[in-house]
Amino acid sequence: MTDAEPPLHPWTGEVAAPLRLVDGTVRREWIDEYGHLNVAHYLTICDEANWAFWNWINAPATIDARDGHEYVIVETHVVYRAELVEGAAFAIETQLTDLDAKRYILFHRVLDAGAELVATNEVKCLGFDLGSRRPEAWRRPVAERLRRVHDAHARLGRPEQSGAGIDLSKR
């Protein structure tokens, strides 16, 4: 795991908008030849936020207790805004932007120690049965909790960068 390894956050029914489930520090082995966080490791730290969110939604059920009813990421998009260097503190804010019976979309904002935006990561997640290796609908109470989070996060509005594709126009 990473220095951003999230603790299991208990489900209390309270939903922050946005969520902040991950805080960490950039590790030496994540640094590239240019002296900053390597492109691959933005996904590393954002995946910690994916796991933190999923574990929080399922709490107190751990992966062993979930009987193979998990999620997979089927799409991801990262936008880089600024650099993170070795030893830099970061936090990730997470917003649930879309939800249906089998899928949800998370929008992560990676923030530096001064709360400045350094990157965003948007992921589409799919309910997945590890036993059958097939997509499946969210199980109760996961579906109810996801709906509750989605409702709370809808008040935030859609992030400006959400749904952005790749093109050469200036943003």
**Domain assignments of the chain as residue spans, ordered by start:** 19-154
Structure-token pair, residue 30: 């994540």
| Mean pLDDT for the stretch of residues 111-132 | 97
The whole-angstrom separation of Cα 92 and Cα 119 is: 10
Q: What is the per-residue pLDDT across 95-115, written as a single tens digit (0 to 9) for each?
A: 999 999 999 999 999 999 999
Distances (CA, A) of 108 to 33, 53, 111, 123, 130: 26, 11, 9, 8, 25
**What average pLDDT does this structure show over 11-29?**
95
Taking Cα atoms as reference points, which of 18, 65, 46, 34 lies closest to residue 118? 46
pTM of the predicted model, to two decimals?
0.92
Q: What is the mean pLDDT of the chain?
A: 92
Whether CATH 3.10.129.10 fits 19-154: yes
Q: What one-character-per-residue DSSP string does 29-71 give? A: GGB-TTSSB-HHHHHHHHHHHHHHHHHHHHTT--GGGGTTEEE
Range of weakest confidence among 59-68, 97-106, 129-138, 158-167: 158-167
pLDDT over threshold 80, residue 25: yes
Tokens encoding 149: 């989070």
Distance CA 50, CA 74 (A): 13
pLDDT band at 62 (very low <50, low <70, confident <90, very high): confident
Residues 140, 118: Cα–Cα separation, whole Å: 35
**What is the distance between the alpha carbons of residues 96 and 61, in angstroms, rounded to a whole number?**
20
Q: For residue 171, what pLDDT is reported? A: 59
Contact between 122 and 108 (Cβ < 8 Å): yes
Mean pLDDT of 50-65: 93
Q: Match 């949800």 to its residue by tokens.
A: 104
Is the pLDDT reported for residue 6 higher than 50?
A: no
Q: Is residue 68 scored above 60 in pLDDT?
A: yes
Least confident of 18-27, 68-77, 120-129, 161-170: 161-170
69 pLDDT higher than 60:
yes
Q: How high is the pLDDT of residue 122?
A: 97
